[in-house]
Structure 1
Amino acid sequence: MRSTRAITIHRPEELSESLRRAWHRAMDESPDYANPFLAPEFTLGVGRYRTGARVAVLHDDGEAVGFFPYERTVYGVGRAIGLGLSDCQALVHRPGVTWEPTELLRACGLSVFEFDHLVERQKPFGPYVTGTFASPVLDLKPAEGDYAAWLRATYPGLARTTLKKERRLGRDAGEMRFVHDERDPAVLRTLMRWKSAQYRRTGRMDRFSKPWIVNLVDHLFQVREDHFTGVLSVVYAGDRPVAAHFGPRSRTVSAAWFTAYDPGFGYYSPGLLMHLRMAWAAGRDGVTLMDMGRGDKEYKDWLKTRELRVAEGFAVRPHPVAAVHRLWRRPVRGLRNTVLAHPRLREPADRLLKTVGSLRASLPARPAGEGARAR
């Protein structure tokens, strides 16, 4: 095992071209780190709008061999970069590199580091994991075959019903067409409005009420690099967008992120249709894995070919702030996970959120992106 001899701290925008290339090399050398949320481009995007974004670079004999992106908040509390938005988190490193968590936190000026989608094989953080969770994925060439063929063989009823609804959508509302990589920013704004309304309707926190998230999505939409590309996919009926998805992809991994649709077309299952079309198009474009993200959803159970595991927890070093933060945050996470894990609790909680959402929806909503300003 290699041992790390030095750790340097950088703001994302300070990373040199050679450091970015070394980060990309670490991604390429391990399939565990091929996820676009682990690319430097995602950290650079977050760093444009989050002043506490930092990257710790691990060096071995002067060579950059590991990259640890994080956000530093007040009193030395650290969070995984984009916590609450990122569906994959890790210290990205070359094979054989190891580290000591308390030394890493000390170098970063952190008393605690919170994560909720940590790559399972991050063994040095193992003692600090409080729970692991399923993250469904789609192998777009399962067993070296075709994903569409696999789905038809595994869920023939689902495939037939979805295709039937697709044909009916074309008859009722205009010819159905799918654009895998739409470049019209107006459609991205439509997606954000739909998603904002969905959050309000279901009682969830409206992410697009936060200007920095709107700005981040706008920025990532423009990024078109080898290891990170922002992809907007759209289902149209005639010239009218019916459903849309925006998310990042790397060379081989596509991440499901923000999906929404026009509620007036709910009968046609446009969200499911969107994910099927995305999977087929991404597979043709060289993607081998679609990561659906942690969370129990019926459509994920239908579409997945297998599951990865992601971890949540708190890496700490002896410090009063770490003790206080853990005492405050851990019960909140534990209660949430208990509710999500038990249908008897989850269903009443979901009904309550929808009731709150219906009350919230009766209030005037600020359009997604209002007040947001690019830097």
Structure 2
Amino acid sequence: MPETLQVEIIKAEATDAAAIALWRDWTTTNPSLQSPYFRWDYTDIAARVCPGAAVAVFRRGGRIVGFFPFQKRGGSVQPLGAPMNDYHGVIAAEDEIITLEEVAHLLKARRLNVPGWIGAGETGQARETVQVVMPDSGFDAWYAERRSTFGKYFKDKERARRSLENELGPVRVEHGLRDPALLDHLIDLKAAQYRRSGLHDIFACGWTRDLLHALMETPAPDFGASMAAMYAGEKLVAVEFSLHAGGHHHFWFPVYEPSLSRCSPGILLSMDTMRLAAADGFRVFDFGFEGESYKKYFVNARQTVREAVVMRPGLAQVLGDAAVGVLDRTGTRGEALRASLRRRWSTIEACEASSVGRLRGAAVAVRSAVHKAAARKRTPARVAHV
């Protein structure tokens, strides 16, 4: 008979040296746990900043077999650092199976929300994340293959670079930057972008801004966060904040000068960052979830994750099922709307540690949805002419 799985909930600072050594070993030997989000350093830093932070320590027969860093929002449980954490799961040895459903049960969560779960589980739907895996021969070989496969696209980007230089001056890229003022500038631009798009401003709550600063200001020997910046002449045209560990480089928060979108400064910065970081020894460049059209021209690898909400049976489950049933009657559009509303609420709930903040965020989201729906109704239908 297999030993019963048990859990102990502790603060991250209470994790002892032996447990940290296990954690570090598993994130370097388990191929599924190569993302920087799984590193002990990420949890150590994030737990000092994120409200409601804790670590679940799983044991069998008294022996530690896994960890799950998380944060609580009322009765709900989310991965530590949500909504900014792109990958999450149980940190364990490769042959240790602890399912998503077991985690939700042992944590006694009213709701466990995971947009990018790596590991065993049956709840929810599969999603794809996309990566560039550099060949051993490096960036130039990767670029030659991409340019051969998607010649029109990459020739267009080369023309865009020349246009940028002709308009503003020589293009240069600096990487490995840890300037707090530059990070504040990036965050302010990103927050403005969220507001223009009618999305929840994830930086308005404060602790999310503090998290990026803390990650950038606390580099470890094999873990850290930094920025890359592109200048054309003297003008800053794009900035990107990334997280990295081992040979894994995760693109995280990009911004660019909107008036120069025709020159694709954000895409050019990503290419130059890969070129420079590959020379520093990075081999996997993670672009997160698929979706943006440009990613298909870059990526040569994919990873399947799971987006799921595990709910405790009871009134909340009944009400949730009833709401889903109403949306399902609208067909495909209803399914898309349900996923969109679920993600929007998850973002609000994760950012806002207080019930007042969550209610305020929900009210803004509702107003935005009503405004968009009204705008769609006012837009006249297009008539096809043959």
TM-score by length of 1: 0.80
Distance in 2 (alpha carbons) for counterparts of 1:46 and 1:326: 34
User: Does residue 186 in structure 1 map to residue 185 in structure 2?
Assistant: no
Distance in 1 (alpha carbons) for counterparts of 2:10 and 2:318: 27
Distance in 2 (alpha carbons) for counterparts of 1:304 and 1:68: 29
Distance in 2 (alpha carbons) for counterparts of 1:101 and 1:182: 37
Shift of 1:33: 0.4
Distance in 1 (alpha carbons) for counterparts of 2:65 and 2:36: 18
State the AA in 1 paired with 2:76.
V
User: Does residue 302 in structure 1 map to residue 297 in structure 2?
Assistant: yes
Task: Tell me which residue corresponds to 1:140.
Answer: 134
State the AA in 2 paired with 1:92.
I
Distance in 2 (alpha carbons) for counterparts of 1:3 and 1:148: 50
Specify whether residues 199 and 5 from structure 1 end up closer, same or farther in structure 2 by C-alpha distance, changes over 3 A only.
closer
Which fold has the larger relative contact order, with Cα–Cα distance below 8 Å and residues 6 or more apart in sequence? 1
Specify whether residues 21 and 312 from structure 1 end up closer, same or farther in structure 2 by C-alpha distance, changes over 3 A only.
same
Task: Tell me which residue corresponds to 1:43.
Answer: 43
Offset from partner CA, 1:320-367 (integer Å, 9 cap, x none): 555556767996994446679xxxxxxxx9x949x89xxxxxxxxxxx
Distance in 2 (alpha carbons) for counterparts of 1:28 and 1:326: 40
Q: Which runs of 4+ in 1 moved over 4 A?
A: 1-6, 60-63, 100-103, 142-145, 316-334, 337-340
Root mean square deviation of aligned Cα: 3.2
Shift of 1:251: 0.5
Specify whether residues 298 and 102 from structure 1 end up closer, same or farther in structure 2 by C-alpha distance, changes over 3 A only.
closer
State the AA in 1 paired with 2:303.
L
Cα contact 2:129–2:290 (8 A) shared by 1: yes
Task: Tell me which residue corresponds to 2:114.
Answer: 115
Distance in 2 (alpha carbons) for counterparts of 1:260 and 1:95: 36
TM-score by length of 2: 0.78
Shift of 1:203: 2.4
Task: Tell me which residue corresponds to 2:80.
Answer: 81
Shift of 1:12: 2.0
User: Does residue 262 in structure 1 map to residue 257 in structure 2?
Assistant: yes
Runs of 5+ consecutive residues of structure 1 not aligned to the other structure: 341-348, 357-375
How does 1:122-201 map onto structure 2 within 5 Å?
122-123=119-120, 125-126=121-122, 128=123, 130-141=124-135, 146-201=141-196
User: Does residue 72 in structure 1 map to residue 72 in structure 2?
Assistant: yes
State the AA in 1 paired with 2:135.
K
- Which of the two has higher C-alpha Rg? 2
Specify whether residues 150 and 142 from structure 1 end up closer, same or farther in structure 2 by C-alpha distance, changes over 3 A only.
farther
State the AA in 1 paired with 2:96.
V
Aligned residues: 340
Secondary structure of 1:256's partner? Answer: strand
Shift of 1:193: 2.1
Offset from partner CA, 1:38-94 (integer Å, 9 cap, x none): 2223233332233322111223565533111122221x3212222321111111111
Distance in 2 (alpha carbons) for counterparts of 1:107 and 1:55: 13
Distance in 1 (alpha carbons) for counterparts of 2:228 and 2:259: 19
Cα contact 1:147–1:280 (8 A) shared by 2: no
How does 1:267-286 map onto structure 2 within 5 Å?
267-286=262-281
Task: Tell me which residue corresponds to 1:371.
Answer: none
Distance in 1 (alpha carbons) for counterparts of 2:15 and 2:323: 34
Distance in 1 (alpha carbons) for counterparts of 2:29 and 2:237: 39
Cα contact 2:129–2:305 (8 A) shared by 1: yes
Offset from partner CA, 1:91-118 (integer Å, 9 cap, x none): 1111221236565445434243211111
Secondary structure of 1:87's partner? Answer: coil
Identity of aligned residues (%): 23
Secondary structure of 2:203's partner? Answer: helix
Specify whether residues 142 and 154 from structure 1 end up closer, same or farther in structure 2 by C-alpha distance, changes over 3 A only.
farther
Distance in 2 (alpha carbons) for counterparts of 1:322 and 1:50: 27
Quick check: 291-300 or 57-66, which moved more? 57-66
Distance in 1 (alpha carbons) for counterparts of 2:226 and 2:322: 39
Offset from partner CA, 1:262-296 (integer Å, 9 cap, x none): 22322211011011112222222222211211141
